[in-house]
Structure 1
Amino acid sequence: MSTDKRLPTLPEVLFVLISFTLIMFLFVVEFSLPIQLALLTTWFVIMLVGWRIGYSYKEMQDGLLKGIYDGSEAVLVLISVGALIGTWIAGGVVPSIIYYGLTIIHPSIFLLAAFIICAITSIATGTSFGSAGTAGIAMMGIGASFGLPVALVAGAVISGCYVGDKLSPLSDTTVMTASLSKVNLIDHIKSMSYVSGPAFLIAGTLFVITGYFFIDNSGDLSQAEATMTALSEYFNISWYMVIPAAVVIVLLALKMPSIPVILFGALLGSIWAFLFQGVGALESINILYAGGEINSGVEFIDNLLNRGGISFMLDVIVLILFALGVGGLMEKTGILRVICIKMLAWADNAGKTTVTTMLSGFFGNFFGGAAYVSVITASKITEENYDRLGIDRRVLSRNTEAGGTVTTPMVPWSDGGVFMATTLGVSTLTYLPFLWFNFLVIIISLLYGFTNKFIWYTESQDNNQNQDKIVN
């Protein structure tokens, strides 16, 4: 066989994409096999095409490992958040937040409150994972105590978490997208506000309407009271239980590195478990890895709180590593490049260019399994088209987030999808219809693209500077 390498043909690309989808369906839906095995099997399908077009196994392995390396920070975050969830439950942090939340939040406005609280937490901390693993778990407990559908509550929680993941200057994906698109960070955030602002207001309104008209009366208050009783009997509930949460939020807001801050918060949870919850010294340390075990007598509280610890995240970590490997192989073998070429030939205006960017971001999540991969594919695959059409790169960065960041929790095997499902205890396809903020960001971005609203173009001036004009 010739050692000359070539780009895969369109039939070869379609073979990989169709095989990927078919393998996912057969393994997960038809045979109920672990999704990790489906992703591992996909490695060999891509390698078969890679071998056919001239790549050696060593070269493909290098691409696979690079894909894993590029997304390895997400794995470290998962490990840290797993430890934090376990100790914050055992230390009474999450139970205290649930308890006090039940006393002050009315059921009819709970969905809006959950959406806003998670949005504020994610903006302050810059992490959707950390927000879901702390405030999100607490909101799930409160919502379940009110008798609300857990999928609807998860939709409000995740929607709020991705407000900050998209807009916070502390968010790694926000910073990464601005950098990849060669746009000033603040300009990038301002550009996103044209989309995220309306999406936030509309999503908030939908949660209010749902709360007032679709939640029966004032909610199941008897269940809320039973939850409060069980929590107060099993845990020491007090205001100072939430100190670890306040410390972590403040440190993250001060732009301290997220992983050591989250691990420090997990350590505080262990200390709180020992000092205030009667947990033994060695057991409180072991909870960092193994998590704790709750027997409160209330089934849904036990289901909610029997989670956490590094070991709780091991299956998730394996899944994400395999998904990142798929993305690395597709990048190395040129499959993503072929998709790029086909899309660029079609996109000849702002609307079509918006579609290609968002599809590239979604492909990054679907085939690469991580938000980091999605913002790379969305920005790098389509950046040439923005320059060719004279569209300001602030539009590129905005569309990259719309197609990449916000679609991450929509893909069951992506890092965001797996993390949210595992942490909140609701499957991806179950909470998917309620990700109203995420869907609105996509819809509004497409609307702007095809109506040419808030699409900035660049003009060359005599002084070699660029001016912006808004086409209304």
Structure 2
Amino acid sequence: MSEEKKKREVRKPTFGESIIPILFMAVVLAIGKGLLQWPTEVCLLLSAAFAGIIAVVRLGYNWEMLEKCIVDKIAAVMPPVLIVIFVGFMIATWCFAGTLPMLVYYGMMFISPQFILFIAFVATAILSYVSGASWGAAASIGVALMGVGAGLDVPPAMTAAAVVTGAYFGDKLSPLSDTTNLAAAVTRVPLYDHIKYMLWTTVPSTVITLIFLLFLGFNLDTTGEISSESMVMLSQLDELFRFGILPLIPMAVILLAIFLRQPTVPAMLISSVAALLIGTFYQGLDFQQGLQSTMTGFNVSMLRTDTEALLPNVTELLNRGGLSNNGSFLAFIFCAMGFAGIVTGTGMMDAAMGQLTNRIKSCGMAVLLAEIECIIINLLTGSDGLNKIITTELMMKKFLELRVHPIVLCRSLEDSGTMTGPIIPWSAAGLYMATTLGVPTTEYLPYCVLCFCSLLFGVLYAFTGFKIVRITDEEAHIMAAERGIVLDN
């Protein structure tokens, strides 16, 4: 059978054929993962297999066509996957050079436990804003703050939530952010108008988040002073490594690359090479072991000291990183993208989401549906970019028919599509943050108040009409024509 004939036999899915695989995945995750504690990868593989069966039996696809859909989806997420892989590479060398121990040491010396969560949010937010790179901020200053928090006996999930929400606050409002530019581009809204309009939902959400983080900080089970155990930890770190200007060079390389908007992976490699040299010639460690750490992770046994005398906290802080420790992450990505590739490549996603717009009669419901669609697409595909593209295609006409300015849709894409990415365990953003910070997404998720508030304020404004930009009939038709849309009214 020729390829041309195969393509003619393939048809578009109906709403029923499209929604069944989505519901199947929801049930499998709820029962398999939630009740039976199956690995998430298994649940996603079962969901992908089920969606594949429907595509073959009902829609006329064959394995080669489905394989291409899956490979295309995996290829689309490979840039962030590469970053995650090299984060492990870099962190191991930072420990080898004394970079991470030094940052933790001085962080514990000068930061009060009550303010660590507040500082973690603000520090990552500033770095993410000026660079437009939430992932870069988390991988550099975020990793160091995780170590500081651990040294101050702050629950890792709280510190991770502060880092994640701070990073995404800065990313959301930065004119350099790829997600912010994408949202403005697909809706054809001027970038700075979009950023200014987002302040109405972002500012109150941030105020609530900072109050929440301060509340958590002041209610930690701590006296506010460095404990005797933490003093011993500081003493051991000081004895194990030489501190000074040189150990800061690997981090400076990353920060400089972020500010100059240079490619992340090459910057990580340069930072790692610098760290290996500093660990060898400044710390006096074995270069061969440093190279080995890039694969298996740094281990305290590489230090010329009695490792049995080290505190468990010190060992836990230092024994990290390595390329080989990312195997579970890669398996997760491949399984998730298997399902995502099938439901998007066969048109199931478009068919399922498109039916939801027909009964929308108000701005409140339109914004609510846009946010729900972004979340569903995030859940099914794990893609920050794809949710903005698909939701715009599905909802732009409805917003214009309701005489609502596209800037409202543009903000909704960020409030939901961008801000829910890092709190979905199998999304690229969620996997990245969990792997980089060493805390499962499900553990830091409850503390990500900024993400939930962004969603709520967007819907609240829409239903009350507060700060909703309306347009005239003439403006609606002009905007529709500019976007190649024919309105029904």
Same structural fold, with TM-score higher than 0.5 when normalized by the shorter chain: yes
Query: How far does residue 188 in structure 1 lie from its aligned partner after superposition?
Result: 2.6
Match of 2:373 among 351, 355, 360: 360
Per the alignment, residue 71 of structure 1 pairs with: 77
Per the alignment, residue 190 of structure 1 pairs with: 196
Per the alignment, residue 284 of structure 1 pairs with: 290
Per the alignment, residue 41 of structure 2 pairs with: 36
Q: Secondary structure at the match of 1:183?
A: coil
Query: How far does residue 331 in structure 1 lie from its aligned partner after superposition?
Result: 1.1
Match of 2:396 among 370, 376, 383: 383
**Which stretch of the first structure deviates more once superposed, 294-303 or 92-101?**
294-303
Per the alignment, residue 400 of structure 1 pairs with: 413
Q: Secondary structure at the match of 1:346?
A: coil
Query: How far does residue 325 in structure 1 lie from its aligned partner after superposition?
Result: 2.7
Query: How far does residue 26 in structure 1 lie from its aligned partner after superposition?
Result: 4.7
Query: Whole-Å Cα distance in 1 between the matches of residues 475 and 21 of structure 2?
Result: 46
Query: Whole-Å Cα distance in 1 between the matches of residues 126 and 284 of structure 2?
Result: 32
Structure 2 residue runs without a partner (length 5+)? 1-5, 302-306, 481-489
Paired residues of 1:141 and 1:301 also in contact (CA < 8 A): no
Per the alignment, residue 273 of structure 1 pairs with: 279
Per the alignment, residue 205 of structure 1 pairs with: 211
Query: How far does residue 83 in structure 1 lie from its aligned partner after superposition?
Result: 1.9
Query: How far does residue 308 in structure 1 lie from its aligned partner after superposition?
Result: 1.5
Per the alignment, residue 120 of structure 1 pairs with: 126
2:243 aligned with 1:237, yes or no?
yes
Query: Whole-Å Cα distance in 1 between the matches of residues 87 and 178 of structure 2?
Result: 16
- The 1:306/1:26 distance shift into structure 2, 3 A limit, reads farther
Letter of the structure 2 residue corresponding to residue 198 of structure 1: P
- The 1:374/1:313 distance shift into structure 2, 3 A limit, reads farther
2:337 aligned with 1:324, yes or no?
yes
2:22 aligned with 1:17, yes or no?
yes
Per the alignment, residue 444 of structure 2 pairs with: 431
Question: Residues 303-322 of structure 1: matches in 2 within 5 Å?
Answer: 303-322=316-335
Per the alignment, residue 148 of structure 2 pairs with: 142
Query: How far does residue 398 in structure 1 lie from its aligned partner after superposition?
Result: 1.6
Paired residues of 2:296 and 2:322 also in contact (CA < 8 A): yes
Structure 1 residue runs without a partner (length 5+)? 467-472
Query: Whole-Å Cα distance in 2 between the matches of residues 298 and 124 of structure 1?
Result: 38
Q: In the TM superposition, what whole-angstrom CA distance separates every residue of 1:29-79 from its partner, at most 9, and x where no partner exists?
A: 455443223222222111111121232333322222222222222112212
Letter of the structure 2 residue corresponding to residue 24 of structure 1: L
2:265 aligned with 1:255, yes or no?
no
Letter of the structure 2 residue corresponding to residue 9 of structure 1: T
Query: How far does residue 400 in structure 1 lie from its aligned partner after superposition?
Result: 0.9
Query: Whole-Å Cα distance in 2 between the matches of residues 109 and 446 of structure 1?
Result: 31
* Same amino acid, percent of matched pairs: 29
Q: Secondary structure at the match of 2:470?
A: strand
Paired residues of 1:118 and 1:132 also in contact (CA < 8 A): yes
**Which stretch of the first structure deviates more once superposed, 373-382 or 435-444?**
373-382
Q: In the TM superposition, what whole-angstrom CA distance separates every residue of 1:355-414 from its partner, at most 9, and x where no partner exists?
A: 122112211221112323333333333233223323222222221122112111221211
Letter of the structure 1 residue corresponding to residue 48 of structure 2: W
Per the alignment, residue 218 of structure 1 pairs with: 224
2:55 aligned with 1:53, yes or no?
no
Q: What is the TM-score normalised by the length of structure 1? A: 0.90
Paired residues of 1:86 and 1:291 also in contact (CA < 8 A): yes
Match of 1:351 among 355, 364, 383: 364
**Which stretch of the first structure deviates more once superposed, 94-103 or 49-58?**
49-58
Match of 2:100 among 83, 91, 94: 94
Query: How far does residue 100 in structure 1 lie from its aligned partner after superposition?
Result: 0.9
Paired residues of 1:63 and 1:332 also in contact (CA < 8 A): yes
Per the alignment, residue 484 of structure 2 pairs with: none
Query: Whole-Å Cα distance in 2 between the matches of residues 364 and 55 of structure 1?
Result: 22
Per the alignment, residue 369 of structure 1 pairs with: 382
Query: How far does residue 129 in structure 1 lie from its aligned partner after superposition?
Result: 2.5
Query: How far does residue 89 in structure 1 lie from its aligned partner after superposition?
Result: 2.2
Query: How far does residue 98 in structure 1 lie from its aligned partner after superposition?
Result: 0.9
Paired residues of 2:154 and 2:220 also in contact (CA < 8 A): no
Per the alignment, residue 451 of structure 1 pairs with: 464
Q: In the TM superposition, what whole-angstrom CA distance separates every residue of 1:312-332 from its partner, at most 9, and x where no partner exists?
A: 223212311321232221112
Per the alignment, residue 485 of structure 2 pairs with: none
Query: Whole-Å Cα distance in 1 between the matches of residues 441 and 192 of structure 2?
Result: 32
Letter of the structure 2 residue corresponding to residue 54 of structure 1: G
- The 1:126/1:461 distance shift into structure 2, 3 A limit, reads closer
Letter of the structure 2 residue corresponding to residue 109 of structure 1: F
2:67 aligned with 1:82, yes or no?
no
Paired residues of 2:246 and 2:278 also in contact (CA < 8 A): no
Query: Whole-Å Cα distance in 1 between the matches of residues 390 and 232 of structure 2?
Result: 49
Question: Residues 140-179 of structure 1: matches in 2 within 5 Å?
Answer: 140-179=146-185
Query: Whole-Å Cα distance in 2 between the matches of residues 2 and 171 of structure 1?
Result: 38
Q: Secondary structure at the match of 1:374?
A: helix
Letter of the structure 1 residue corresponding to residue 75 of structure 2: Y
Q: In the TM superposition, what whole-angstrom CA distance separates every residue of 1:188-230 from its partner, at most 9, and x where no partner exists?
A: 3222222222222221122122222455431553333222122
Query: Whole-Å Cα distance in 2 between the matches of residues 187 and 309 of structure 1?
Result: 43
2:441 aligned with 1:441, yes or no?
no
Per the alignment, residue 470 of structure 1 pairs with: none
**Which stretch of the first structure deviates more once superposed, 223-232 or 18-27?**
18-27
Query: How far does residue 291 in structure 1 lie from its aligned partner after superposition?
Result: 2.4
Letter of the structure 2 residue corresponding to residue 19 of structure 1: F
Q: Secondary structure at the match of 1:312?
A: helix
- The 1:458/1:161 distance shift into structure 2, 3 A limit, reads same
Query: Whole-Å Cα distance in 1 between the matches of residues 199 and 270 of structure 2?
Result: 32
Q: Secondary structure at the match of 2:414?
A: helix
- The 1:227/1:351 distance shift into structure 2, 3 A limit, reads farther
Paired residues of 1:177 and 1:375 also in contact (CA < 8 A): yes
Per the alignment, residue 351 of structure 2 pairs with: 338
**Which stretch of the first structure deviates more once superposed, 448-457 or 17-26?**
17-26
- The 1:219/1:151 distance shift into structure 2, 3 A limit, reads farther
**Which stretch of the first structure deviates more once superposed, 446-455 or 379-388?**
379-388
Match of 1:416 among 429, 437, 440: 429
Per the alignment, residue 469 of structure 1 pairs with: none
Query: How far does residue 110 in structure 1 lie from its aligned partner after superposition?
Result: 1.6
Q: Secondary structure at the match of 1:457?
A: coil
